[in-house]
A and B are shown apart, each in its own frame.
Chain A
Amino acid sequence: MKTEYEKYYVPEQSPWPIVGAVALFLVAIGAGLSVMQTAKQEGGWGFYILIAGIAILLYMVFCWFKNVIEESHAGLYSAQMDRSFRQGMAWFIFSEVMFFCAFFGALFYARMFAIPWLDGGSNNAMTHELLWPDFSAEWPLLKTPDGTTTQAMGWAGLPLMNTIILLVSSVAIHFAHTAIESGKRMQLKVFLGLTILLGLAFLVLQVEEYIHAYQELGLTLDAGIYGNTFFLLTGFHGMHVTLGTIILIVVWLRIMKGHFSPDKHFAFQAAAWYWHFVDVVWLCLFVFVYVL
């Protein structure tokens, strides 16, 4: 270890964590109340609390990161600090992977167990016989046990296009990465810009696909387990793409301001990791939600 005696920077007091805690408090209350008030079809103020919470959260993140960037530019961060950030980001992505695992788990459980068992699989002959005699197991589940019907989303059109878009964007950000490491700023700006445009294109097509699902296929969030898993998996993925795109835009703006050097670019690295993660999740989605 060559950084043995380099001082590890411990920041002095910071107001942003407590502001962030208040923001999350407002987000939680606001989200909870809006959901409850929407369910009861009451007008309500929950939504405004939610918006206030999100606004404070964004402000907090902006100020906090501003502090960190200033400290970084002031040369306060050692190589050891850089490792802390990198490891922290890696573990954060691991936690995100586990979040998606919960929903993939639900998808696999429904396909492997819940649906066959409703059709009498394993030791459930009486479940089929007595409770759901008209039900037959299939995937995608186009007719639920209680009779709701829907149509399946094919994989060949928009989803395939989106897969190609995300794969290309992953390659693009890889080129941006090699560019930042060899100090080719122009190449960096172009390839990162391309990644952002591809991310935005993905989101536009995803919205189009949702409209298609709702208006033409009757594939809705409440259309049984197929629609449930479809929309929660693609929806959470879409939210991560949105967040990833925002992160990339911020990083791109910082590059335009001349931030980052070939050997110090944690924020870029973190954004790139996050983008690759979003891409890998999509590949799993494409295979298990659309194709198989």
Chain B
Amino acid sequence: MSAHAEHNSHHHAPSGFKRWLFTTNHKDIGSLYLIFSLIMFLIGGAMAMVIRAELFQPGLQFVDPHFFNQMTTVHGLIMVFGAVMPAFVGLANWMVPMMIGAPDMALPRMNNWSFWILPFAFSILIASLFMEGGGPDFGWTFYAPLSTTYSNDNTALFVFAVHIMGISSIMGAINVVVTIVNMRAPGMTWMKLPLFVWTWLITAFLLIAVMPVLAGAVTMVLTDKYFGTDFFNAAGGGDPVMFQHIFWFFGHPEVYIMILPAFGIISTIIPTFARKPLFGYASMVYATASIALLSFIVWAHHMFTTGMPLAGELFFMYSTMLISVPTGVKVFNWVATMWRGSMTFEIPMMFSIAFIVLFTLGGFSGLMLAITPVDFQYHDTYFVVAHFHYVLVTGAVFSIMAGVYYWLPKWTGNMYHIGLAKAHFWLSLISVNILFFPMHFVGLAGMPRRIPDYALQFADFNAIISIGGFAFGLSQLLFVVVVIKCARKGDKVDDKVWEGAKGLEWEVASPAPYHTFEQPPVVK
């Protein structure tokens, strides 16, 4: 057939815009995901700057409270669904086929579809900000009745934007699972899989399991708001708290969706620069699986103050605290890998070590929040904001940065500017702590989250937080510079960029050829 003849004649990247629109190549699609997520990171970050500018001083200065609410909401939605998740999907697209010796993702066309839905979904979300009545303003968790009774007329656009985002995530996740299960090179047995692949396999399972539940939640919000149903309204026999149960049944696995691939990246980088095999590989795999399974039975720890029966409070407190066991195993293993290793401190390693320290800090504040009676005080304060920004920014985002600095030379064939990258690391590390650490203090002192104005007693810390925020935001522009410079030119690197690195991805040329492993390698 003609399709067959055509197929064999193409071995190089096609050129022009059609390359990016029509592509089926996992590396192209990985790049698209990563570029998209970087753009979203900057847009979401700009919204955070608006928030921090308003909170620099008490009183209302720059934006009205209604717009402030839209900023907190869309900042959250963009960072979760537009920045962190697509960045991990981009890394999976680039690295999973190369790590398991597959020629591409299992379903290459669907892969392209998954990506291209995202820019459209987010343009709907962002466009709604400019419409009469404004964008979503009920927080990224869109609790009923804020999103039903009290939301603006444009909520239907939010609902359908989330729907198509969900379709994109589910298709992307199916692709990852099928690739890992079905496309491993001969000899790549389960317990030889690189940990990044393992963590992504489990993440993808979580995505397929919970994104449909999110679709159900937004559907009920839609019918409650526009079609007269009473799922979240006591007057009709429903319950607003039921929304929170359904949402967090999605939402808690979702937070592990944003951190498990990070664990995979860190578990890849630490052995490279400690020049020792990963300590406790099997326990890492089991810990990841345990975290994923536990994530399904802890959701109501987000809801301790809703008046659940005592038995529920206790169950969710203990199950949540249980998660610290497999997480502790992971942190222990990373540290044990470094123990007596021949350590060097290249940029990816610096981000990884920062990840271990700061993510663990975020984990500890999570443990504090898990204690039901204590949570009654912390709930909905800046302490919670501090907690999840430590695990998401210094956790997920730092791991993505570490992964990009680790694999960027493999992707481009060029080494990035080390001095600028170092500056990016140190500026980020210092500013991120100025930004988020004082949030613990104002939170413990009682400053509520999602509020454009606050009591005078919080003024000094908020000024410091805002300065940290602007510094962190500006530092990320350095990252953009480093990446663009590296993509254009730089010192050529060897196939094996880091001499301690292990894995199939280092056996192909740098930059990685357009098609790799068309013949599966044999893994011993």
Question: Hey, which bits of chain A sit against chain B, CB under 8 A?
Answer: 1, 4-5, 7-18, 20-22, 24-25, 27-29, 31-33, 35-36, 38-40, 64, 67, 70-71, 73-74, 76, 80, 83-85, 87-88, 91-92, 94-96, 98-99, 101-103, 105-106, 109-110, 113-115, 117-118, 122-123, 131-132, 141, 144-146, 148, 221-222, 224-228, 232
Contact = CB atoms under 8 A, between A and B. Distances in A.
Contacts of A31: 156, 160
Contact of A225 (B186, B215, B228, B230): B230
Q: Is the interface of A mostly helix, strand, loop or mixed?
A: helix
A148 B215 contact: no
B23 interface: yes
Given A13-B23, A94-B209, A95-B212, A39 B153 contact: yes
Contact of B102 (A8, A114, A145, A221): A8
B52 interface: no
Given A10-B108, A18-B22, A21-B116, A102 B216 contact: yes
Interface residues of B, number: 84
Interface in B441-500: none
Given A110-B237, A110-B242, A222-B227, A12 B10 contact: yes
A168 to B, nearest CB: 29
B113 A35 contact: no
13 contacts: A1-B186, A10-B515, A11-B7, A15-B21, A24-B117, A29-B124, A40-B153, A88-B178, A91-B174, A102-B215, A110-B238, A110-B242, A225-B236
A32 B160 contact: yes
Interface in B241-255: 242, 245-246, 249
Contacts of A28: 120-121, 124, 157, 160-161, 163-164
A36 B3 contact: no
B22 A228 contact: no
A146 B235 contact: yes
Contact of A114 (B23, B229, B239): B239
Nearest to A82: B182
B24 interface: yes
Interface string B417-445: 00000000000000000000000000000
Contacts of B359: none
Contacts of A113: 239, 242
A118 B229 contact: no
Smallest CB-CB A-B distances: 8 pairs: A102-B216, A222-B228, A21-B116, A225-B237, A25-B120, A17-B113, A13-B22, A99-B212
Contact of B6 (A12, A85, A131, A146): A12
B156 A8 contact: no
A228 B174 contact: no
B120 to A, nearest CB: 4
Contacts of A80: 182-183
Contacts of B121: 25, 28
B219 interface: yes
Given A1-B186, A31-B160, A102-B217, A228 B238 contact: yes
Contacts of A109: 239, 242, 245-246
Interface string B1-39: 101101100100010001101111000000000000000
B239 A110 contact: yes
A84 B181 CA distance: 9
Given A113-B239, A114-B242, A25 B164 contact: yes
A114 B235 CA distance: 11
Given A25-B121, A32-B124, 15 more contacts: A1-B186, A10-B515, A17-B110, A36-B153, A36-B226, A40-B153, A74-B3, A102-B220, A105-B245, A110-B238, A118-B234, A118-B237, A122-B309, A228-B231, A228-B236
Contacts of A228: 223, 229-231, 236, 238
Contacts of A105: 213, 216, 245-246, 249
Contacts of B64: none
A13 B19 contact: yes
B222 to A, nearest CB: 7
Contact of A91 (B112, B177, B213): B177
Interface in B204-218: 208-213, 215-217
B223 to A, nearest CB: 7
A234 B231 CA distance: 16
Interface of B: 1, 3-4, 6-7, 10, 14, 18-19, 21-24, 102-104, 106-110, 112-113, 116-117, 120-121, 123-124, 153-154, 156-157, 159-161, 163-164, 167, 170, 173-175, 177-178, 181-183, 186, 208-213, 215-217, 219-220, 222-223, 226-231, 234-239, 242, 245-246, 249, 307, 309, 515, 518-520
Contacts of A118: 234, 237
A211 B4 CA distance: 53
Contacts of A1: 186
A158 to B, nearest CB: 23
Contacts of B519: 5
A95 B113 contact: no
Contact of A13 (B18, B116, B157, B520): B18
A115 B230 CA distance: 12
Nearest to B9: A12
B174 A92 contact: yes
Contacts of B3: 12, 67, 70-71, 74, 76
A225 to B, nearest CB: 4
B231 to A, nearest CB: 6
Nearest to A131: B234
Contacts of A91: 173-174, 177-178, 208
A98 B23 CA distance: 31
Nearest to A10: B104
A27 B120 CA distance: 11
Contacts of A25: 117, 120-121, 123-124, 164
Given A84-B178, A122-B309, A145 B234 contact: yes
Contacts of B23: 13
A145 B233 CA distance: 10
Given A18-B116, A98-B212, A32 B157 contact: yes
Nearest to A122: B309
A232 B229 contact: yes
Contacts of A76: 3-4, 7
Contacts of B7: 9, 11-12, 76
Contacts of A94: 208-209
A123 B21 CA distance: 57
B208 A117 contact: no
Given A18-B112, A22-B120, A99-B213, A145 B208 contact: no
Contacts of A226: 237
Given A106-B242, A117-B239, A131-B234, A64 B181 contact: no
A118 B102 CA distance: 56
Contacts of A96: 212
